[in-house]
Structure 1
Amino acid sequence: MTRKVLFVLLGLGLLMLLSGCTSGNKKYSSTPEGHVQNFEVSVPEYTISGILINSTNIDNQFISTKGVVEKTVAAGMYTYAKISDGTGEIWVAGPKTNLKPGSKVKLYGALVVLNFKSPALNKTIDVLLMTQSFGSGESSLHGTTEGNSTSAVNVSVKKLAGGYTISDIFTRSKDLAGKEIEFRGVITKVLPEIMNKTWIHLQDGTKDNVTGENEIKVTYSGPEKFKVGDVVIVKGKLETDVNIGSGYFFRVLINNATIKKDET
Structure 2
Amino acid sequence: MKLSFTFLFLFFVLASCDSPQKADESKQSAVHKVIVQEVLHVNEYSYIRVLEEGQESWIAAPTTPVEIGKKYYYGKSMEMKNFESKDLGKTFETVYFVERISDNLEEATIPLTENPHPENTTKEATKPIIEKKEVIIEAATEGISLAELFKNREKYNNTVVTLKGEVTKYNPAIMNLNWIHLQDGTDFNGEFDLTLTTKSEVKVGDVITIKGKVALNKDFGAGYLYTIIVENTELIK
Relative to the length of structure 2, the TM-score reads 0.59
Aligned partner of 2:150 in structure 1 is 170
| Counterpart secondary structure, 2:76 | strand
> Aligned equivalents of 2:77 and 2:54: distance in 1?
23
Summarize the alignment of residues 1-264 of structure 1 with structure 2, pairs less than 5 Å apart. Answer: 4-6=2-4, 52-53=30-31, 67=35, 69=37, 78-85=46-53, 91=59, 93=61, 105-106=69-70, 112=74, 114-116=76-78, 125=96, 129-130=100-101, 150-209=130-189, 212-221=190-199, 224-260=200-236
Q: Which letter maps to 1:160?
A: A
Q: Percent identity?
A: 25
Alpha-carbon distance change, 216 to 81 in structure 1, aligned in 2, over 3 angstroms: same
Alpha-carbon distance change, 194 to 90 in structure 1, aligned in 2, over 3 angstroms: closer
> Aligned equivalents of 1:229 and 1:196: distance in 2?
23
> Aligned equivalents of 2:163 and 2:140: distance in 1?
6
Alpha-carbon distance change, 76 to 172 in structure 1, aligned in 2, over 3 angstroms: closer
Q: Deviations over 1:203-236 (max 9, x none)?
A: 1111122xx1211111112xx4210000000111
Conserved 8 A contact 2:169-2:204 = yes
Aligned partner of 2:110 in structure 1 is none
> Aligned equivalents of 1:117 and 1:6: distance in 2?
18
Alpha-carbon distance change, 151 to 75 in structure 1, aligned in 2, over 3 angstroms: closer
Q: Which letter maps to 1:217?
A: T
| Counterpart secondary structure, 2:3 | helix
> Aligned equivalents of 2:219 and 2:64: distance in 1?
21
Alpha-carbon distance change, 183 to 76 in structure 1, aligned in 2, over 3 angstroms: closer
Alpha-carbon distance change, 131 to 200 in structure 1, aligned in 2, over 3 angstroms: farther
Conserved 8 A contact 1:179-1:237 = yes
User: Which range moved further: 197-206 or 83-92?
Assistant: 83-92
Count how many residue pairs are aligned between Structure 1 and Structure 2. 182
Q: CA deviation at 1:74?
A: 7.1
Alpha-carbon distance change, 104 to 84 in structure 1, aligned in 2, over 3 angstroms: farther
Q: CA deviation at 1:131?
A: 6.4
> Aligned equivalents of 1:125 and 1:243: distance in 2?
29
- Consecutive unaligned residues in structure 1, runs of 5 or more: 11-50, 56-64, 98-102, 133-147
- Structure with higher Rg: it is 2
- Consecutive unaligned residues in structure 2, runs of 5 or more: 9-28, 85-91, 104-127
Conserved 8 A contact 2:163-2:210 = yes
> Aligned equivalents of 2:6 and 2:173: distance in 1?
17
Conserved 8 A contact 1:159-1:183 = yes
> Aligned equivalents of 1:73 and 1:257: distance in 2?
24
Conserved 8 A contact 2:48-2:58 = no
User: What do you get for the CA RMSD once the two structures are aligned?
Assistant: 4.3
User: Which range moved further: 174-183 or 118-127?
Assistant: 118-127
